[in-house]
Structure 1
């Protein structure tokens, strides 16, 4: 009961449904009582009118009475029987039930309707004076009359018994439909990407909900402005740091070319590596700021294999340094409509991540496949992979897996995530070897509106490229 009270106090929909249901129930009860009483009284009035019509028929046709003797006729219902007798015959009654007529009705009864008790049984009696001056009584048992009146009254309640549950169902369905736009709105907001801060469409919403949506839109505008300021600050800071870091790198390169004592050389090498990591971090920060930017990009048709070749040419020295077998294993190319810088950045960060964590002598395979619902880009490596517990966290900025000695900024997968969210793509991490749970397999699904088939002359082109052992 306490749980229901809590839900009732927290849910407007439930509170509205319960209130309307109770109101319908109360109105139905009042209407049912009124209909029952009205039908009961109306049936009695019709029964009294029947007694009057019998009396008038007797008077109009100048009938005479002959009290029956012996058993009742077949089909004669004792309970609903209408009795006619001369009122003056009451004192001469030989019995006290309607089986023996006449009945002992008092002779002093006035003309009109009256209820008379005969041996504990009530009769409804109409006394009428005929045109010949004879006083007759037309009577019927009150119990039979009440039984018929109750049955008629209960039948009048049948529409209420049918209408009440129907109204409850209609009210419940109506309330649910009225609140459905709110649920749809909540689902729409919940499915938005982190960077999707465009205003919510409010024209199709009820008037009562629009002020709430307007307030949310204003909040989204403030959040977008704040995020733009933050991205601008990061980009500006990275740009400002790039020049001094470039100068430090040049000085380090000049210093590396000079003759240094062994102890100075030993101390200089960590400094040079730190300067290199700093430059890489600045470049990654600029790439992340560009990937998170919501400005419109120019999209042009691109060959995925051509993008793969460009990335492999840039990163081939690192692959040769670690003796990693890297190449494109898919023979069928796909042309996508994409921003060239975004696609190159996405693939380059994924391949660079694979090269860093794949041990020497390992293997990295790049592939592309045309699916019914889009284009599938896949990059597999033979490295240690990422545990299921860490797969959701590796997309966070500056997060790096524990137990790895590889240098990096921790922004590569964050950049990939930002690009996929902005274009409506999906990314999934899994194991290259599911049985051994080793190796990382990164799958990116580009939406269907981002691809088109290449000409037949480009199909079947072998683009597999392997690095030197």
Structure 2
């Protein structure tokens, strides 16, 4: 009962369906009972008319009402359905029973009209009539048979209710569900949107009762879009404004390094230059994130995933060599994806840079491209510490860095990757390179291909560059 109350209070659709169904059921029960009783009474009235017509026929045709010989009872006669006709006060009662074809032991004092009498443990409907000759005639029939016919007639009247009411309840439930289908579709559309998709929803096809709600949502989306645009502009403008002083500080630090100074001052200068470089890297990441979150989509084209990976490897090869990381591509299989080339480069570069920085010196980073189910699949594996299962839901948050990490970074790399993935419709999965030891990081990126006929370009034996 508590569950029903909870559903009634929590769902307008269920409340409407339940209320309509209950109202239809109550009305159907009342109408069915009324129809049954009316048909039952009408059947009894028709049967009483039959008794009157038999009595009138006896009067008009002067047919003898003397009972037939009980010994000549017909075997195929239904004693329950037969109509008994006899004179009142005509000699002694019949020695045979009623079921055997005998007469009814009726009192001579019965008044003219219809009577319901209990005779020999059975109920009879008796019509007493005085004819033109002054004779009193009784026409009777067993009430059990009459009631059976009346019930059958009443049930045939109610049968359409019993059949059509369940069908009507199903139709009402289906109609209510279809009436709420635009609302469910609107909910699904809003739920499937990415965080950057703040364009207004189409409200013209919605019912007039729901349209004001959709208009209010559009206004809210507009305010959120303006607020997010203001935030993105602030981040981008702040990053642009900070690049100039950081560049100036970097130039001053380079000039200062040429001057003579003590070893302690030179150590401080090294720390200063590292801090300036981290600041510049953070600003570049902020600008990349602001561009990825911009509602203005960059022009898309067919981009080679193999070529993008090689270009990123060329840019990051000095960093990998400085840490003695064995990095390269495995295989020559290629796939083309329909994305912005700048977005693709930014995503791959952040993933590879993250792998290089978190892989210990002398480690290994492998890149490969495959295709599966009309998607290009990029695999990036390393033999670093990996990401614990408990932290995989948070590593894509901005400025979040894995606990216990000694690597310097902005904490924006994976956030940029996730933003670009949402923008181009890609899917990112994290796993372990070594499932047995639960070590190493395996990143799998699934991207829809530009053209299925161009998905696979070449495939040969694996090699590394």
Contact 2:374 2:452 in 1 (8 A): no
**Residue pair 2:85, 2:140 contacting (<8 A) in 1 also:** yes
Q: Give the corresponding residue for 1:331.
A: 332
Query: What residue number does 1:52 align with?
Result: 52
Mapped to 1, the partners of 2:256 and 2:11 lie a distance apart of 71
The answer on whether the counterparts of 2:301 and 2:341 sit within 8 Å (CA) in structure 1 is yes
Question: In structure 2, what is the equivalent of residue 25 of structure 1?
Answer: 25
TM-align CA RMSD: 2.7
**1:369 maps to what in 2?**
370
Tell me the equivalent position of 1:273.
274
Q: Does structure 2 retain, via aligned residues, the 8 Å contact 1:125–1:139?
A: yes
SS at match of 1:389: helix
Residues 1:15 and 2:23 are matched in the alignment: no
Are 1:245 and 2:233 counterparts? Answer: no
CA contact (8 A) 2:334 2:455 kept: no
Q: Which residue matches 1:459?
A: 458
d(CA) in 1 for partners of 2:53, 2:319? 116
- Residue 369 of structure 1 deviates from its aligned partner by 1.4
Q: Secondary structure at the match of 1:302?
A: strand
> 1:159-178, aligned counterparts within 5 Å?
159-178=160-179
Q: Is the 8 A contact 2:304 2:335 kept in 1?
A: yes
Question: Residues 223 and 159 (structure 1 numbering): CA distance in 2 closer, same or farther, change over 3 Å?
Answer: same
Any idea what SS the aligned residue of 2:55 has?
A: helix
Contact 1:294 1:422 in 2 (8 A): no
SS of 1:242's partner is helix
1:388-425 per-residue CA deviation (whole Å, 9 max, x = no partner) reads 11111111111111111111111111111111111111
8 Å contact kept, 2:37–2:154: yes
Say if 1:102 and 1:190 are closer, same or farther in 2 by CA, change over 3 A.
closer
Structure 2 counterpart SS, 1:438: coil
Q: Give the CA deviation at 1:125.
A: 3.0
Render the CA deviation track for 1:187-208: whole Å, top value 9, x for unaligned.
Answer: 3322222222222233443332
Is residue 371–residue 455 contact of structure 2 (8 Å, CA) maintained in 1? no
Measured in 1, the distance between the counterparts of 2:309 and 2:326 equals 15
Helix, strand or coil for the counterpart of 1:308?
helix
- Which residue in 1 is equivalent to 2:413? 412
Deviation at 1:168, TM superposition (A): 3.0
1:380 to 2:378 alignment: no
Q: TM-score, normalised by structure 2?
A: 0.91
Structure 1 equivalent of residue 301 of structure 2:
300
Aligned partner of residue 432 in structure 1, secondary structure: coil
Task: Kindly indicate whether residue 444 of structure 2 is the aligned counterpart of residue 446 of structure 1.
Answer: no
Question: Residue 239 of structure 1: CA displacement?
Answer: 0.5
Q: Partner of 2:102 in structure 1?
A: 100
SS at match of 1:379: strand
CA distance in 1, matches of 2:6, 2:103: 71
Structure-1 residue corresponding to 2:289 = 288
Taking the aligned partners of 1:118 and 1:302, their CA distance within structure 2 comes to 103
Distance 2:400 2:94 in 1: 112
Describe the SS at the equivalent of 1:367: strand
- Output one character per residue of 1:261-307: Cα deviation in whole Å (capped at 9) or x when no partner: 11111222111111110111011100000011121211122222221
Query: Following the alignment from structure 2 to structure 1, what is the Cα–Cα distance between the partners of residues 438 and 207?
Result: 51
Larger CA deviation: 64-73 vs 416-425: 64-73
Q: How much does 1:175 deviate?
A: 2.7
Structure 1 match to 2:4: 4
Could you say what secondary structure the match of 2:390 adopts?
A: coil
Deviation string 1:353-389 (CA, Å, 9 cap, x unpaired) is 1111111111111111122231111211121111111
| Change in CA separation of 1:455 and 1:437 when aligned onto 2, cut-off 3 Å | closer
Check 1:105–1:152 CA distance in 2 against 1; reply closer, same or farther (3 A cut).
Answer: farther
Q: Do residues 43 (structure 1) and 43 (structure 2) align?
A: yes
Q: What is the TM-score normalised by the length of structure 1?
A: 0.90
Separation of aligned partners in 2, 1:30 and 1:204: 39
- Which SS does the other structure have where 2:255 is aligned? helix
Deviation at 1:40, TM superposition (A): 0.9
Residue 57 of structure 1, CA deviation: 3.9
Structure 2 portions without partners, runs of 5+: none
Per-residue CA deviation, residues 222-260 of structure 1 (Å, 9 max, x unaligned), is: 111111110010000000101001101111111122222
TM-fit CA distance, 1:54: 2.4
Give SS of 2:410's match. coil
Please state if 1:264 is matched with 2:265. yes
Instruction: Call closer, same or farther: CA 1:143–1:308 in 2, change over 3 Å.
Output: closer
Matches within 5 A, 1:54-453: 54-59=54-59, 61-71=61-71, 72-87=73-88, 89=90, 92-94=92-94, 98=98, 99-101=101-103, 103-106=105-108, 109-110=111-112, 112-115=113-116, 122-128=123-129, 135-448=136-449, 450-451=450-451, 453=453
Following superposition, the deviation at residue 48 of structure 1 comes to 1.5
Q: Distance in 1 between matches of 2:453 and 2:331?
A: 15
1:121 offset after TM fit, Å?
5.7
- In 1, the alpha carbon distance for the partners of 2:384 and 2:226 equals 41
Q: Is contact 1:375–1:451 with CA below 8 Å preserved after alignment?
A: no
Change (3 A) 1:117 1:299: closer
